[in-house]
Amino acid sequence: MIKPLNYLFNWIIYSNIFVAFCVLALAMSSALLFDSSNLKVNLFVFFATVFTYNFQRVVKANQRKEAVNYDWFVKHKISTYSLILISGIAGGYYFYFFNLDTQILIALSAIICILYPFVLRNIPYAKIFIISFIWAISSMLLLILENDMLLTANIYLHLLSRFLFVFAITIPFDIRDMKYDESKIRTIPMILGEPKSKWIAVLALILAQLILLVQLIYFDMPIHFLIAMLCLFLLASLSIINSSENKSKIYYCFWVESMSVFCYLFLILSTLLI
């Protein structure tokens, strides 16, 4: 019984189903923060993430056989290509029903995602900023555009805070990838080293918390949301500080990635308990 459960757990993690749930959790967190939800956006975000991550996995696996999780991909090619096909069809279906502004933003994001494994990832330091930018768009800006919300100063602060959060929890993955990335790919850990990179990530979380304080003072953010995000940033800081090249793949793919899920859970709990 343990082996089938272990296989299922690994499949969910390495097939990028879990990371799609993480982006979905962030999108649902945005719905709580704005008190405005959209099921079509949530479903699109989930399927688009499954498609994008598996598409990039195929490209990277064909480019270099020492890529992260290459052995898993070789053993699960059929399921990987099946997920690309199914998620691509599902994502295209929901894309059709969005308003024009949302479709344009998705199209521009898709171009970046397609170019990333071929061209953009070789631009020094671009990797982490591209990931943070795309996650902020997927988990927040799509909802804002599709629900016709005004782009106020408060909205921009939310977007900046989300960008900083994703930036922070992405640095541990750059630490993990130091042994896989080619020398020509310049990332923050490769230039500054592991300890300084961790402190940059923690600093990003501190800045995100300061932004939330500004929103509390000037834009009437509910205090329970501030407390929820403080708990999240503290937990994320611990996961970042404990990261290293020697940590297992599961530590990154499950524990660090789970910070996005904790974001939603903390916001829900704060709403219920405070």
Are 204 and 160 in contact, with CB atoms under 8 Å apart? no
Structure tokens that stand for 40 in this block: 């079509």
Distance of CA 15 to the CA centre of its chain: 15
Structure tokens that stand for 74 in this block: 């070789």
| DSSP string for residues in 30-64 | HHHHHT---HHHHHHHHHHHHHHHHHHHHHHHHH-
pLDDT at position 65 is 57
Using CA atoms, how far apart are residues 178 and 245, in angstroms rounded to an integer?
Answer: 7
Helix (H) or strand (E) holding 239: helix 223-241
Residue 255's identity, in one-letter code, is: W
Total domains present in the chain: 1
Are 134 and 49 in contact, with CB atoms under 8 Å apart? no
| Per-residue confidence in pLDDT tens, the chain, 274 aa | 557 788 888 899 999 999 999 999 999 999 999 999 999 999 999 999 999 999 988 887 776 655 556 677 778 889 999 999 999 999 999 999 999 999 999 999 999 999 988 888 778 788 899 999 999 999 999 999 999 999 999 999 999 999 999 999 999 998 888 776 655 567 888 888 899 999 999 999 999 999 999 999 999 899 999 999 999 999 999 999 999 878 888 899 899 999 999 999 999 999 988 7
Q: Could you tell me the CATH number of the domain that includes residue 24?
A: 1.10.600
Say how many C-beta atoms besides its own lie within 10 A of residue 273's C-beta: 9
| Closest C-alpha among 133, 147, 146, 67 to residue 104 | 146
Are 54 and 76 in contact, with CB atoms under 8 Å apart? no
Query: Residue 143 is part of which domain span?
Result: 2-273
At residue 151, what are phi and psi to the nearest 5 degrees?
A: -85, 85
pLDDT at position 66 is 52
| Closest C-alpha among 254, 253, 127 to residue 190 | 127
Using CA atoms, how far apart are residues 116 and 127, in angstroms rounded to an integer?
Answer: 8
Give the burial class of 64: count Cβ atoms within 10 A of its Cβ; 0-12 exposed, 13-18 middle, 19 or more buried. Answer: exposed
Using CA atoms, how far apart are residues 211 and 167, in angstroms rounded to an integer?
Answer: 15
